[in-house]
Structure 1
Amino acid sequence: MTAKFFAILTNQGAALLANATALGTKLNITQMAVGDGNGTLPTPDATQTKLVNQRRIAPLNMLSVDANNSSQIIAEQVIPENEGGFWIREIGLYDDNGVLIAVANCPETYKPQLQEGSGRTQTIRMVLIVSSTAAVTLKIDPSVVLATRKYVDDNVIKVKVYADDLMRQHLAAPNPHQQYAPVNSPVLTGTPVAPTAEQTVDSGQIATTAFVKAAIAALVNGAPDALNTLQELAAALGDDPNYATTIRGELERKQPVSDTLHAIAALTGANKLMYLDEASKIQTATLTKLAREILEKDTASQVLNHLQAAPLASPEFTGNPTVPTHAISDSSKNIANTEFVINQIENDVYNAIFNLSLGAASKRDVGTGANQLPDMSAFPLVVSPAGWTKLPNGLILQWGVTTNFTSTAEVYFAIPFPTACLFVGKNTYNTTTNNSAVMEVVNPSRTGFTASNIATLIRNNTNVSTPVASGLAFFAVGY
């Protein structure tokens, strides 16, 4: 069976490949193009220099020798999901000089675009049989092409195997970090340094020279030169090995020990005030800054001024003093605040309205809005033969009279209705005693209507005659 789909070298491609093989140079295949064959499946032709109808050309994603057949070159290109909108029926390979090296056809497939409702990444592969794959440069530019999923997976596996092997060798080595000192009994050289511990640290942590100097300085603690050595301290104590006993004996000859004095002497801390509790035991309370300032004052007036407190007699308040809000029923001497006054006023007004039987209308504002009472200004009125009036709800009433006419007349309202004309009523006007005109209103609009005088009725007779000149009186309703 004859193959329907196949790839061939073009005449130019075969010549370039043969020349590269003979001279020992390389043929650089760099790009792949796809086309739609102008709607039909093309047959590859060695004389082609371009595709029948090229739709896309881009760098190759992969170019390699088939691992199972050393005479076959596999070229791949990935078309991303954001490109498409065309059929693929033909494939071409180009070198770095833009020469069509090989051409192939393929089963037709449609590459959609995302905006068409479907998108996919599509891989196009061409397998080309050549006489010498050594004459083809198997190299692509990784910075301008996409990688297929298989390519990424294969290389991830290679990297993982390499990393796992490095970790295995690292863990198996007896001392993988020979540039570092061992943990057990290290012999340091040069000028090793370590963090300086706080003076409160008492552990196996390394003591730096800074730690040692700070500890000695804390021991001396700024002692004068005459008392900064043990010899000088011993001399100051009279070289008495029992200095503590000697001093205790001297103290026992002083004031006898007293529980009260002992308790007072045991008290410590600044800003404390001593007092006797219910059990007559000495206790202390914290003496605040405010309490100390009050104790320094001589009079009650000075204390009130310091506290910025108002006197009980005729106080004069400033700022924004507040008091509790009392019930409306409270009629005592308690101080009232603004909330109490407003509540009292609202209660009195309500009672007055209730007692006068004014109802809810007495509490409504004047206006044309919701829950408002309109006054006469809300009822504009133009009194004339062609007049109008407007109600607060927006309804407009208009009236007028036309001059006599026998055919049609264009009638205009005194003012246009803002939205629409709802109704036009009419009656004949200025007719003779024995005759009555037949009038018709045509095409009413916001601005007016057409009046048509269509016939004349003769009273007390069934005869209808031609129109006679007559006027029209109308009444229109709109909004």
Structure 2
Amino acid sequence: MTTFFSVPTLVGLAELAGAIRDGMTVPFTHLAIGDGGGNPVDPTGRTGLVREVDRVQVASIKKHPAEPTWLVVEAAIPEDRGGYWIRELALIGGRAGGKVMSVSNYPAVERPAPGAGAVTGMVLRMVVAFVDAAAVSVLVDPQAYATLQAVLDQIGIHEGKADPHPQYTTPGEAATVAATAVGMHQAEADPHPQYARVGRLLTADVLKALRGARAFRFFNSAS
């Protein structure tokens, strides 16, 4: 069973049916973001979010490449928004506006507050299924689309770098460090000073005692 999924609300289905009947389209305008009240969410039968923490404008809607009745809704959280967890999404729209069209759960992810020092733009994607995808439209605010494109550009630049995470050791660097450490270890005159060496154990007194022992004569009869 799919862990994360969206479910159209009865209001959303009614809106879509009315648009098809009237030869019109249903606009999608926003993605509402919720934290689930601190708990995972099952969207089945829900009419809205458990607890909404933010709302961002829809920037694009694309048909799913594998499923003709699925739509991929994209929106971007600007850099100056955050300070919450994301566990659920709701698609907002309707001909009158402000209606919850579909509800989805979401993998729990923390959106740090702007002052945390590690905040960048974040793209949200919600896949929704409707019988007639052609009856759906999107009201795109140019600023929302620009924000989405800016975030996608940042991701592209990041992934295009030869070493996008210089704070982490690469496999090649790890191998070099390991080889250097082994070489230095093997070059030491006494790499294991915590262990007694045979040369230190077999002092003159110890050898004399061993030669006088029956066990030593038995195993070393030539002495």
Q: TM-score range by the shorter chain?
A: 0.5 to 0.7
Provide the secondary structure at the position in 2 that maps to 1:137.
strand
- Cα deviation, 1:216-258, whole Å, max 9, x if unaligned, reads xxxxxxxxxxxxxxxxxxxxxxxxxxxxxxxxxxxxxxxxxxx
In structure 1, what is the equivalent of residue 220 of structure 2?
A: none
- Cα deviation, 1:398-434, whole Å, max 9, x if unaligned, reads xxxxxxxxxxxxxxxxxxxxxxxxxxxxxxxxxxxxx
Q: What amino acid is the match of 2:63? A: V
CA contact (8 A) 1:64 1:138 kept: no
- In the TM superposition, residue 44 of structure 1 has moved relative to its aligned partner by 0.4
Q: What amino acid is the match of 2:64? A: D
Higher RCO (CA 8 Å, separation ≥ 6 residues)? 2
CA contact (8 A) 1:80 1:121 kept: yes
Q: What amino acid is the match of 2:113? A: Q
- In the TM superposition, residue 88 of structure 1 has moved relative to its aligned partner by 0.1
Distance (Å, rounded) in 2 between the aligned partners of 1:131 and 1:30: 19
- In the TM superposition, residue 150 of structure 1 has moved relative to its aligned partner by 7.9
Provide the secondary structure at the position in 1 that maps to 2:14.
helix
**Change over 3 Å in CA distance of 1:140–1:152 after alignment to 2:** farther
CA RMSD of aligned residues (A): 2.0
Q: What amino acid is the match of 1:148? A: Q
Distance (Å, rounded) in 1 between the aligned partners of 2:31 and 2:116: 25
The count of residues paired between Structure 1 and Structure 2 equals: 151
In structure 2, what is the equivalent of residue 30 of structure 1?
A: 29
Q: 2:58 aligns with which of 51, 57, 60?
A: 60
Distance (Å, rounded) in 1 between the aligned partners of 2:29 and 2:118: 29
Q: 1:73 aligns with which of 57, 67, 71?
A: 71
- More helix by proportion, 1 or 2? 2
Provide the secondary structure at the position in 2 that maps to 1:148.
helix
TM-score by length of 1: 0.30
In structure 2, what is the equivalent of residue 127 of structure 1?
A: 127
In structure 2, what is the equivalent of residue 366 of structure 1?
A: none
Distance (Å, rounded) in 2 between the aligned partners of 1:92 and 1:102: 6
Structure with max Cα Rg: 1
- In the TM superposition, residue 152 of structure 1 has moved relative to its aligned partner by 6.0
In structure 1, what is the equivalent of residue 101 of structure 2?
A: 101
Counterparts of residues 5-404 of structure 1 (less than 5 Å): 5-48=4-47, 50-96=48-94, 97-145=97-145, 146-149=147-150
Provide the secondary structure at the position in 2 that maps to 1:15.
helix
Provide the secondary structure at the position in 1 that maps to 2:49.
coil
Distance (Å, rounded) in 2 between the aligned partners of 1:151 and 1:81: 13
State, as a whole percentage, how many aligned pairs show the same letter: 28
Distance (Å, rounded) in 1 between the aligned partners of 2:79 and 2:143: 19
The farther-off stretch of 102-111 and 19-28 is: 19-28
Q: What amino acid is the match of 1:21? A: I
- In the TM superposition, residue 70 of structure 1 has moved relative to its aligned partner by 2.2
Distance (Å, rounded) in 2 between the aligned partners of 1:68 and 1:141: 28
Provide the secondary structure at the position in 2 that maps to 1:63.
strand
